[in-house]
Structure 1
Amino acid sequence: MERFPPLPCSPAKAGAQSGHPPSRVNILLMLAALAILFITLALLRPVDHDESQYVAAAALTAHGLLPYRDFAYLQTPLQPYLFAPVAALAGPWTWPALRILNALLGVVTIACIHTAARTLGAKPKAALACAALFATCDILLFSIGTARNDALPAALLAAALPLIVRPAITHKTAALAGLLLASAAAAKISYAFPALAYGVYALVDRRHRPAAILLGTVPVIAFVAWSYATSPAGFVFGTFTFPARAPAEYYALRPWKTSLPAKAIDTLKFLALGAALPALALVARDAWRRRTVGLLDWLILAGLIAALLPFPTWRQYLLPALPALFVRLSMIPPPSRAWRIAFATFAIAGLAPSVAALADSDGLSLTQAQREGRAVGRTLDRRGLEGPITTLSPQVLPAANRLPDPAFATGPFYFRSTTLLDASQERALHLISRARIKLDGSTILTGGEGPATSGDASLDHALASAARDAGYDAIPIPGTRFTAFRPPARAPASPQPVPHNSP
C-alpha cells in the first residue's frame, strides 16, 4: 500500500507556474452564486416521498422525542439531532428549510473538494475544473436537492479530505479528520467504508497518526453507543436489519431489479449522468500506469464498495466515492482533446435529469405541497382535531402545525413491509405495517403517497380503507389531494351501579 506520489512542486509554486489563482474574493463570489443556484434548484425540485422520514425525524427530535426509543429511524442517528434545531427554528417551514440546508451542504462539499485539490498540489485551474465537474453530477444534484440524508455525510467526508492529504499531519488535524469521518458514518452507514479505509491506511502509513485519528472518533462512538443504549432493538433494526432485508422483500415480485445485470446497468447509468464515469476511467488508467495505489484511490474504492453492496443500487449510493474521485482527478495531467470533449459531454448529461425534473408537469412542487400542508392545518383546526397525525406523508405536517404519529415516522417505508417483524416486535419498535394496520384513534391523513411523489398510491388506499372500515368519517381537504379521517366518537361510558349497604 503506497502513498500517493508527491508532486515535484508545492501548491504555491504550482499556482505560480499556471498563472495567478483565483482570488479569495472571486472564490467567495463563485460559492455565493453556486449557493443561490443550488438553493433555487432545491426549492424548485419536485417532491419525492424519500424525504418523508427525514423531515419527520427532524421534527419529532425537535420536539424532544428520541430516534429508536420513541420512533423508528431507518438510518444511523446523527442527522436528526443536528437538524432538529433547524426544524425547531423553521417551524412550519421545516421542509423547505431542510432542503436549503442540504443545498448549502452541497456547496460546502464542492468547496472542500477544491480546497483538498489545492492542498494536495493541484494547479488552480485543475482544482477549479474538477470541483465544477463534480458539481454537474446528477448523483450530487439529486442528493442535495431533496431533504434526504445524503448531503450531510458527503460534506463531512469532503471536509476531512484537505486534512488527510496534507504533507504534514499534526495530532490536531488527525483527530479532526477522525471526528469528521466518524460523523459521516454516524449520519449514513455507507460512509463507514471510506472511514474504515482511511483508518486501515493510517495504520500502514504512520505519518497519518492513527492514535490521534482514533481519539477523534471517540465522541462520535460515544454518541452512537448512547443512541444504541436508548433502544438496542430499535437501533439494530433501523441501521442494519431494515436496510439489509427490506429491499429483497419489496422487490420480491420484481427480481430483475436486484440482479447483478441490473446493478451493473444502474451503476453505469448513474455514473454516466455527469463526469463521474470518465473521471473514474481516467483515474483508473492513471493508477494502472503508475503501478501505485494511493490514499485517494483506496477511498474511491471503499466508496464504490459501499455503493455496490446494497441491492438495488440508487444514484445517491455512489456519492461516498465522488469527493475523493474528483480530488484525485485534479492530480492527473491535462487530458487530450478527446477526453476534454468527453468530460464536457458527460457534464451536460449530468444536468439533464435536474432539468427534466424541473420541467415535469406530473411532479408535485414543494410550493404546492407546502400550500396543501397549510390547508390541512386549517381544516383540522376548524374541526377541532388535535394531536399527532397518522399519515404516510409526514413531510407535509410541519406546514399544518402538526406532528406525525411516531408509529408512522418512517412514512411509507416500513408500512409497505409484510414479514420483517411480527406484531409484538412492531409494538416494541413503534412501527405499523400494512399487513397489521392498527388504528389508535388518531386523525388519519391520506392522499400524499402516489405517482406525483414517486410513491405507491395503493399504500394510502390501504390506510384509507382501514379507516373507513373502522367507522372513521372522511373529511376532504379542499383544493388538495388529501383526505382526513376523523375517528368515530366514543360512546359514553355506561353508568356504574351506585353501591349501597343493603344486606
Structure 2
Amino acid sequence: MILMTLALLRPVDHDESQYVAAAILTAQGLLPYKDFAYLQTPLQPYLFAPIAALAGTWTWPALRITNALLGAATIAAVHHAARIGGASTRAATFAAALFATSDILLFSIGTARNDAFPAACLALALPAIVRTARDQASRRDAILIGALLAAAATAKISYALPALTYGIWTLFRADRRPWWTLLGTLPFVALTTALLIQAPEGFLFGVISFPGQAPTEWYQAHPWKLSNTAKIIDILKFLALGPALLAIVATAGKRDRWHRILDLLILAGLIAALAPVPTWRQYLLPMLPALFVRLALVWHAHPPGKAMRIAAVAFACAGLAPTVEAVASGRIPMLDAMRDAAVVREILDREHVTGPVATLSPQFLPGRAIDPRFATGPFYFRSTALLNADQERQLRLVSHARIALLGQPPVILTGGEGAWSSGDDRIDAALATYAIREGYRAVPVPDTRFTLYVARHASPRSAPHNSP
C-alpha cells in the first residue's frame, strides 16, 4: 500500500510517455516495431496491453500501480532468496528493508517505465538460483530460472548480461542443468525472433541503434555528461542515495564458495549499468537484488556492529530523501494528470476531432487515438540525424529536424513536454511552431498547460474545401 501510494504521489516524468503509449497501441492490436516504434526489447507492451485494455482512460495510473506491486514482489523475493540461502529472518528482513529504501528502486517502481517488471523477474529467479548454487538443480528450478531471466531480458535489454552470465555459469557443471535452463528461455526467444523477422529494421533500430546513438547525439551540447568522470560521479551518487554503496562495502571479501554466482550477477548488473552513456539511477537496478541477498547472508554470518547499523540507517534516510522531496508538494500528481487528460478529451469532443493526436506526451491520451509516429514520446522527435527521411517514413517516425514530413494530422497537442515533466520545453515549442506555421487553429485547454492545435479542415466550422 505504501509503494502504491508513493507511485500515485510521484511527479509526472516524460520517460513514461513511450511505455504508456506502447501498452495502449498494443492493446489496440498494433505491433511494436512494425506499426509503431518501440525503443526497448518487446515483452512489456504485450504483458501490459491487457491492463491498458481494462483500465481505459486510467491506463497511466494503472501501470504505475502495477509497477509498485512488482516492486513489492521484488523486495519479497530478495527476502525469500536470503532465507533460502541460510540467512536468519532478522538478517533477511533487515537487508530487504534496506533494499526498499534505495532511491534506485523507489524511482524505478514509482513510474510507468519498464524497470519494475524485469527487476521482479530477476529477483523472483534468485530463490531458485540460490537453491541451484547450494544444491543440485531440479529441472523445475532450471526451467523457471531460464524463463524468468529471459523474460527480464526481453523486457529490458540491460538484463541480458545477468541472464547471459547465469547461463555461462551453468555450463561449468552438468548438475546445474544448462539445457533445462535453455528450455525455459525458448518462449521468449521465439517472441523476440518473430518480431525481428517481421520488422527487422524497426527492431534493430529500437533495440540496438537508438539506445547506442541517441544519448550521445542529444548530450553533444553537454559533453561533460558523456565523460567518464561524470559517469563515475553519477554511479557513486546513485549508489549512495540508499544503502547500496554500504552493501558493496559490507559484502566485500566475505563469502562462501556458493556465493560466487551472486557476485557474478552483481558484477554483470554493474557492467550493464556502466555501458550506456550517460548513466541514470534506474540503470543500476539489475545489480541490487543479488547485492542485498548477499548482504543478508554476510550479516547473518557476521552481524553488523553499532557503527554499521547507524551507517545503514543514515544511508536508508538518504535513499528515502529524494522520494520524500518528490511527494512533499501536497498534491497528487496522478490525479492532476488524469484531470488534465479528461479536459483534453472534453475539448477534443467539443471540436469534433476523432482522428489520431500528434503529441510528445501520449501518456495524457488514454481513451483517444494516438498518432503512432509519436509512440516514442519526445525521445525520437528530439533527434536530428539518426535516420534519413526514407527511413523515418518506413519506421513511422518523425524528428524535429524533418518536421515537414509530419504532414497535417487532425490535431496536435502540446504542453506535456517541459521542465515540469523532466523534459525540454524547446522541442514541444518546435511542434507548436510547426502547427502555427501550417495554419492550425490554437485551442487552449482551460486550467492546464496544454494547447490543442486543430487543423482547419478538421474543424466543424471550416468550409469543406478550406484546407491549408
> Match of 1:390, SS?
strand
Are 1:69 and 2:34 counterparts? yes
Aligned counterpart in structure 2 of residue 78 of structure 1, from 43, 48, 66: 43
What SS is found at the alignment partner of 2:412?
Answer: strand
Q: Does 1:154 align with 2:122?
A: no
| Post-superposition CA distance 1:266-321 (Å, at most 9, x none) | 0000000111001011112325xx79961100000000000011111100000000
| Deviation at residue 168 of structure 1 after TM alignment | 3.4
Q: 1:55 aligns to what SS in structure 2?
A: helix
Matched, 1:350 2:316: no
Matched pairs, number? 454
Deviations 1:476-499 (A, max 9, x none): 1111111101112287569xxxxx
1:354-393 C-alpha deviation (Å, 9 max, x unpaired): 00111258x9812111101000000110110112100000
Residue 96 of structure 2, aligned match among 120, 128, 131: 131
1:238-266 residue CA offsets vs partner (Å, 9 max, x unmatched): 00100000010000010000101100100
Contact preservation (8 Å) 1:270, 1:315: yes
Give the structure 2 partner of residue 439 of structure 1.
407
Kindly indicate whether residue 268 of structure 2 is the aligned counterpart of residue 302 of structure 1.
yes
1:318 aligns with 2:284: yes
Whether 2:136 is the aligned partner of 1:171: answer no
Q: Give me the whole-angstrom Cα distance separating, in 1, the residues matched to 2:179 and 2:257.
A: 29
Q: Which residue of 1 aligns with 2:13?
A: 48
Instruction: State the one-letter code of the partner of 2:383.
Output: S
The Cα of 1:404 is off from its aligned counterpart by 1.3
Could you tell me the TM-score, scaled by structure 2's length? Answer: 0.95
Distance across 1 between alignment mates of 2:465 and 2:114: 48
What are structure 1's unaligned runs of at least 5 residues?
1-35, 495-503
Q: Distance in 2 between matches of 1:367 and 1:488?
A: 32
**Structure 1 counterpart SS, 2:254:** helix
Determine if the alignment matches structure 1 residue 428 to structure 2 residue 407. Answer: no
Question: What are the Cα deviations for residues 191-229 of structure 1, in whole angstroms up to 9, with x where unaligned?
Answer: 001100100111113321101001111111001101112
Q: Which residue of 1 aligns with 2:303?
A: 334
Distance 1:351 1:207, change over 3 A: same
Question: Which residue number in structure 2 is paired with residue 282 of structure 1?
Answer: 250
Q: Does 1:372 align with 2:372?
A: no
| Equivalent in the alignment of 2:373 | 407
Q: Matched residue of 2:311: which SS?
A: helix
- Larger deviation, residues 365-374 vs 149-158: 365-374
Q: Contact 2:356 / 2:409 at 8 angstroms: preserved in 1?
A: no
Contact 2:358 2:409 in 1 (8 A): no
Which whole-Å CA distance do the structure 1 matches of 2:386 and 2:332 have between them?
31
Do the aligned residues in 2 keep the contact of 1:98 with 1:147 (CA within 8 Å)?
yes
**CA positional deviation for 1:344:** 1.1
1:467 counterpart (423, 429, 435): 435
Native 8 Å contact 2:67 2:112 kept in 1: yes
Assess if the C-alpha contact under 8 Å between 2:8 and 2:332 holds in 1: no
Give secondary structure in 2 for the equivalent of 1:47: coil
Aligned equivalents of 1:330, 1:92: Cα separation in 2: 42
User: Residue type matched to 2:260 in 1?
Assistant: G
The aligned amino acid for 1:50 is D
Structure 1 residue runs of 4 or more that deviate by more than 3 Å after TM superposition? 290-293, 490-494
Q: Which protein is bigger by CA-based radius of gyration?
A: 1
Instruction: State the 1:439 CA deviation.
Output: 2.6
- Native 8 Å contact 1:59 1:403 kept in 2: no
The whole-number CA distance in structure 1 between the counterparts of 2:456 and 2:349 is 17
Q: Which residue of 2 aligns with 1:105?
A: 70
Which of 93, 100, 109 does residue 58 from structure 2 map onto? 93
Q: Distance in 2 between matches of 1:241 and 1:393?
A: 23
> 1:442 and 1:133 mapped to 2: Cα distance?
50
Is the 2:22–2:32 contact (alpha carbons within 8 Å) kept by the matching residues of 1?
Answer: yes
Aligned-partner Cα distance in 2 for 1:207–1:317: 33
